[in-house]
Amino acid sequence: MSCDFLALAAAGVKGLTPYQPGKPVEELQRELGLIDVVKLASNENPLGVADSVKQALTQGVSELHRYPDANGFELKTKLQRRFAIEANCLTLGNGSNDVLELIARALLTPADEVIYSQYAFLVYPLVAQALGAKAVVTPAKDWGHDLQAMAAAINEQTKLIFIANPNNPTGTWLDYTALTEFLDQVPEDVVVVLDEAYTEYVERADFPNGLALLPRYSNLVVTRTFSKAYGLAGLRIGYAAANAQLTDLFNRVRQPFNANQCALHAASAVLDDQDYLQRSVSVNQQGMQQLTAGLDQLGLAYIPSVGNFVCVNLARDAGAVYQALLAEGVIVRPVANYGMPQHLRISIGLAEENSRCLAALKKVLSA
Ligand SMILES: *Cc1c(COP(=O)(O)O)cnc(C)c1O
């Protein structure tokens, strides 16, 4: 090979590090010959696939020789009824990560700046840098987004701001007053992406609903996913809600069949499955109590979280603890790539999974 193909890369792509996903169960089983593995690494729904989804999928399978409905009529109609968002304000994606990328591709050039917080979701730098836009990272406050710092970072070049509420991996959140006071300060030609991947889990009265804020802020884009509380991470389906003009832009860069037919059917079905959603939320609440009580007992500090995960401060190199937990058959998520080398992120599982994780942590930390 005499050509240096790296030199051919687009400027923004040269400096990119690929997203590191949670370790798959099968991979650990293969590597260590383990059978009984608990995965609490990717904020997946521990309830498993909803029965309503399994039923919808049997229908979808017999149509797999056809292209999906490129406009996602059925799902958009359901979303419209449920959240009072017009179909021409919805963009469907192959997971909400896909939608985040569509937003970036529709708007960003190398002349633009993108603001996000320290410890924000790593997909934001990925999509912004790939397009050569300049990332402006504001320091976190108590591990969460410092909205004052973010507002102060806005200048003539700012095109896009990413905010996750609650944030992953920290689990921190912004209340209604803080968020709306921030949005009031953002110029209308700066687009704010509010990533609400975990919103269904939050039951605080002061927690904002981004979809309800859309009529008030024309520059607001809200993204949501079926990967977490709806239990469809493996199917890849999410969406953005925004004004019709922005939505038109996102759909110009969207591949026509980016949301597959099975995912469309499954999402439509589970959106009507209030029982599954309620169980997801209550299992998460109980699991959060169990896990944090266990961490308290172990004397471990953690960042208060309203998501389906919690970031534990081990006050030592977390990489070694992560490896030792793997040997115990427990997969959690290292977050050193977020600049948090002493933390591990643990997803909330079923009661027995949380117990397994706590017991493994106790064993590993006392070794
Ligand atoms: C999990 C997650 C998503 C959702 O990703 P999908 O592509 O929809 O699976 C989006 N944003 C954040 C912050 C997340 O943690």
For ligand 1, pick from 96, 103, 117, 223 the residue to mutate: most ligand atoms within 8 Å of CB.
96
Classify burial at 34, counting beta carbons within 10 Å of its beta carbon; exposed 0-12, middle 13-18, buried 19 or more. middle
What element of type H or E holds 160? strand 158-164
**Cα(125)–Cα(112) distance, rounded to whole angstroms?**
13
Which pLDDT score is estimated for 17? 86
Query: What residue type is assigned to position 203 of the chain?
Result: E
Across 319-327, average pLDDT? 97
Which pLDDT score is estimated for 187? 98
Number of H helices, E strands in the chain: 14, 13
**Cα(113)–Cα(156) distance, rounded to whole angstroms?**
9
What element of type H or E holds 281? helix 274-297
Residue 15: band (very low, low, confident or very high) from pLDDT cuts 50, 70, 90:
confident
**DSSP state at residue 330:** E
Q: Residue 91: helix, strand or coil by DSSP?
A: strand
Across 70-74, average pLDDT? 95
| C-beta atoms surrounding 277 within 10 Å | 18
Q: pLDDT digit string (tens) for 136-164?
A: 999 999 999 999 999 999 999 999 999 99
Classify burial at 65, counting beta carbons within 10 Å of its beta carbon; exposed 0-12, middle 13-18, buried 19 or more. exposed
Ligand 1 neighbour 96 (Cβ under 6 A): yes
Residue 293: band (very low, low, confident or very high) from pLDDT cuts 50, 70, 90:
very high
Residue 176: band (very low, low, confident or very high) from pLDDT cuts 50, 70, 90:
very high
**Cα(287)–Cα(309) distance, rounded to whole angstroms?**
9
Residue 60 has pLDDT above 90, yes or no: no
Ligand 1 neighbour 347 (Cβ under 6 A): no
Chain-centroid distance, C-alpha 122: 9
Ligand 1 neighbour 97 (Cβ under 6 A): yes
Across 284-299, average pLDDT? 98
The Å distance, Cα 309 to ligand 1 centre, comes to: 13
Closest CA to 205 of 178, 181, 175: 175
Q: pLDDT digit string (tens) for 190-231?
A: 999 999 999 999 999 999 999 999 999 999 999 999 999 999
Which pLDDT score is estimated for 20? 85
For ligand 1, pick from 168, 224, 239 the residue to mutate: most ligand atoms within 8 Å of CB.
168
Residue 1 has pLDDT above 90, yes or no: no
Q: pLDDT digit string (tens) for 256-289?
A: 999 999 999 999 999 999 999 999 999 999 999 9
Residue 80: band (very low, low, confident or very high) from pLDDT cuts 50, 70, 90:
very high
Which pLDDT score is estimated for 81? 97
Average pLDDT, the chain: 96
Q: Exposure string (b/e) for 130-151, b if CB count within 10 Å is 16 or more?
A: bbbbbebbbebeebbbbbebbb
Which pLDDT score is estimated for 11? 87
Contact (CB, 8 A) for 200 and 59: no
Q: What is the dihedral of CA 310, 353, 196, 93, to 10 degrees?
A: 140
Q: pLDDT digit string (tens) for 89-113?
A: 999 999 999 999 999 999 999 999 9
Which pLDDT score is estimated for 243? 98
Residue 12 has pLDDT above 90, yes or no: no
State yes or no: cis peptide before 187, omega within 30 of 0. Answer: no
Contact (CB, 8 A) for 349 and 46: yes
